[in-house]
Amino acid sequence: MRFFFPDSQDQVDPGFDFITEERDPYRVRQRDDLYAHEVFDPPPFDGLLVSKAIVDGYSDGSAGKYTAAQRLRLYREHARRFFRLDRSRGSLKIMGDCGAFSYINEDKPPYTVDEVVGFYHDCEFDYGISVDHVIFSPNPLATPVHQDDDQLRRWQERQDLTLTLASEFWNACKGHRVGFTPLGVAQGWSPESYADSVAQLQRIGYDRIALGGMVPYKTREIIGCLKAIEDVREPATELHLLGVSRHEDIPTFAQLGVRSFDSTSPFRQAFKDERNNYYTFGGAYVALRVPQVEGNLKLRKRIAAGEVDQRLALTRERQALQLLREYDSGHATLEETWQALQSYSLLWDTKDRGEAYRRTLNDRPWRDCDCALCRALGIDIAIFRGTERNKRRGFHNLYVFRQRLQAQLGEDPS
């Protein structure tokens, strides 16, 4: 089972000073900052997923996340050199897609088949996913009689368009003799419609098929679709789940033909989730939130409104950080550290995380982790504050997620 991590130019600065929170003035982000596969040996995934929408944006002026210089360098140097994959142990692969969720509200995809084939070919990707249009079905297991006729018609139109584009993509790949392996995309709104899409893609010639639109599905809904697909899937056909992780269900997915998947969830939960920010092998902990006074919108509004004294906020912020470090080194008690954290939180946070904070402080899970980041940073890996700490915690989560995945599949972690 191969795990691909979607790229969004997420890197960390190895020279960042966690005490002064300053950077090297001569740092060049793309040159000096590190990807997760450069931080960990071996890397915590099998490859990267790179979306055209992230790199190029749209022809209507919507910007991607790459600067013009980064985009040009990717095309000039090609993906393997741009992402410095050769610095990692193991054979990391690059998969390309269009980023269909980013244009879900458009009437049709903003890219032509030739543009997408050119993107994959010019960047020298290993795999390329056909142009598709997401179908959003809130209840894929609903019976047809409970579905709106107009909605069904719109879904059918999107599926037909996706299959037409997949056929054109297949022909373009064969005609140009591209260096990447093409994957067709199956879009659907029910188990039966997904199975029909897979059957048609196999008739076109695809033996690698990506299943799109399943990100919001519950596990039982995904399994329901996979079981229907199993009835039509040819033995040689391999499935890829777009945007779906669910490590505890991976063995079941594998039995139903899934051979790879991609997901940002382990990384994004480090700073997007309300509670499950720091992964452990058996669960997760809330991160200890100590945001910068200047960078916290809620606190800045309260200060501007005269509800909070700025000097008081700065003092409590510094006290919380100091006591967290002293606690980790054995020079402060849990209670006084917790009190300092709570005192600062009360100035800006409407949610009561007191007991969750106490659990994190009491268990000190970073001390039980053998990843390079936890060993180097100590408690800073569990502090929710700024991009350098938050992304490192996301990288840690990828490391733990990979361990969980290997345990589920009975794989050798080495």
Q: Which amino acid is at 388?
A: E
Cα-based distances in Å from 224 to 52, 89, 196, 249, 253: 30, 37, 14, 13, 11
Instruction: Please provide the distance, in angstroms rounded to a whole number, between the alpha carbons at the two ends of the chain.
Output: 15
70, 79 contact by CB (below 8 A)? no
Cα-based distances in Å from 296 to 291, 292, 359: 6, 6, 24
Cα-based distances in Å from 347 to 310, 313, 315: 10, 7, 12
In angstroms, what is the C-alpha Rg of the chain?
Answer: 23
Instruction: Give the three-state DSSP class for 392.
Output: helix
Burial of 383 from C-beta contacts in 10 A (0-12 / 13-18 / 19+):
buried
The catalytic residues are 97, 262
**Cis omega (within 30 of 0) on the bond before 365?**
no
Contact partners, residue 333, CB within 8 Å, separation at least 6? 327
Helix ranges (DSSP H) in 246-304: 250-255, 265-272, 297-304
Helix ranges (DSSP H) in 177-211: 191-204
